[in-house]
Amino acid sequence: MKRFLSLFLVLILLTTVVVGCTQSDDDTDKDEPEVDAPAEDDNEDEETAEVGEITKVGLGHVASIAKSEDADDDEDEPAMAQADLTIAAVGFDADDKVASVTIDTAQTKVEFDEDLKVATDKEEEVRSKKELKEDYGMKETSENVGIGKEWYEQMEALEDWMVGKTVEEITGMDFKENGVGYEDAPDVAELTSSVTISVTGYLEALENAWENAIDVENGAKVGLGLTTSIEESKDAEDDEGPLARMDTTMTATAFDEDDKVVGTIIDTAQIAVEYDTDGKVTSDKDAEIKTKHELKEDYDMKETSENVGIGKEWYEQMEALQDWMVGKSVDEITGMDFKENGVGYEDTPDVAELTSSVTISVTDYLSVVEYAADNAR
């Protein structure tokens, strides 16, 4: 009888356990709402290609004045000059893969009033698209095509995607229409949710950086530096129309692990848009725009340089300055002493090694290297 009671109690306990477990599972199914699986990140499974030490640094650019506008009296629209200068600072490894890339655009405008006098504040800071961040105002347009990202956010995603790839792989990307009329948005799976901007100009700047790259040793990171001024723009006078001048000094500078310069390219795009006395653009909007480095002897500084004793063109002086910077920290570079150069500028290097090679004004060139150091990656 005792054995029978023991067995009976065991059976009751087992039944209770089984029922309890089953009831628990059923409650979970009924009471907890269904949760959708999280959306997969386009980049989640994408492994970043490995890159090696930076062995080359390149500065690339693409410039245009095509969006400059005539004055239109019928529509009460003033004349407006616009220079779009896209700049790429790129570090490459020994396998010719992009190891570091920063791309920015100086979209500089000079507006004139009805009397063809400069209406834009010539002293106001001119900010690039990356410097503008949310103030660039692309987010709303971007929301219309489904991603809601500002220009700088899209560019950072594009830059990250470029790392580990060759220029050929990058420029060989497929394109698609982006919903607002441009047909050169990336048709790349990893960029679907992050980049819908037109990218042709950025790829051209990258390719230009590769073509102009110089060799460096022990490169760890590369920075892009730039500064823009419209101070040389002029009002219309007498029988002369107005002039818009948009000068951007830029650099791609490579640094080692100790933040010393291992290589730098510094250049200036002096972009001019000329108008007649009726406010019509007279400059060729389709003409190639060359930087000071690209102009070489055509920049025509040699005669002025001969007057101060060295007889060197701008690009020759800049190459000497670039070479002098190698192996120095930014503090050592920007801390150089200055002297007057004989033609009115007081910021010529007062440095023994540069006495016979550099008499140009250098303040802007030093400042963009400092800027590059602050933004190096």
Contact criterion met (CB below 8 Å) for 142 and 149 = yes
Q: Is the predicted pLDDT of residue 5 greater than 50, yes or no?
A: no
Taking only the tens place, the pLDDT of each residue in 226-238 is: 999 999 999 999 9
Per-residue pLDDT tens over the stretch 307-326: 788 999 999 999 999 999 99
The per-residue b/e assignment along 161-187, b for 16 or more CB within 10 angstroms, e otherwise, is bbbbbbbeebeebebeebeeeeebbbe
Confidence of residue 11 (pLDDT cuts 50, 70, 90): very low
pLDDT averaged over the chain? Answer: 88
Confidence of residue 178 (pLDDT cuts 50, 70, 90): confident
Better pLDDT: 159 or 26: 159
Q: Which residue has the higher pLDDT, 344 or 348?
A: 348
Work out the average pLDDT over 198-217: 98
Q: Distance between CA atoms of 256 and 329, rounded to whole angstroms?
A: 10
What confidence tier does 181 reach under pLDDT thresholds 50, 70, 90? Answer: confident
Q: Give whole-number Cα distances, 26 to 12, 35, 243, 365, in Å.
A: 21, 17, 79, 72
Query: How many other CB atoms are found less than 10 A from the CB of residue 298?
Result: 9
Q: What's the mean pLDDT in 55-65?
A: 98
Helix 200-211 vs helix 151-162: crossing angle, to nearest 10? 50
Tell me the per-residue pLDDT of 133-165, one tens digit each, with 9 for 90 and over: 999 999 988 887 789 999 999 999 999 999 999
**Stretch 302-310: mean pLDDT:** 85
Instruction: Give residue 307's pLDDT.
Output: 79
Identify the band that residue 49 occupies on the pLDDT scale cut at 50, 70 and 90.
low
For 94-128, the pLDDT digits (tens) are 999 999 999 999 999 999 999 999 999 999 999 99
Residue 52's pLDDT band, with cuts at 50, 70 and 90, is confident
What pLDDT, in 10s, does the model give residues 257-297? 999 999 999 999 999 999 999 999 999 999 999 999 999 99
pTM of the predicted model as reported, rounded to 2 decimal places: 0.85
Where residue 372 falls among pLDDT bands split at 50, 70, 90? very high
Instruction: Name the nearest CA neighbour of 260 among 333, 162, 161.
Output: 333
162 phi, psi to nearest 5 deg: -70, -30
Handedness of CA 354, 357, 359, 363 (dihedral sign): negative
pLDDT at 15 (0 to 100):
39
Predicted confidence at residue 13, as pLDDT, reads 37
Q: 54-64 and 80-93: which strand pairing?
A: antiparallel
Question: 2 pLDDT exceeds 70?
Answer: no
Q: Can you read off the two tokens belonging to residue 150?
A: 């500002």
Decide if pLDDT at 341 tops 90.
no
Distance CA 293, CA 267 (A): 6
- Better-predicted residue by pLDDT, 182 or 286: 286
Rg (CA), the chain: 30
pLDDT for residue 31 is more than 90: no
Q: Is the pLDDT of residue 7 over 60?
A: no
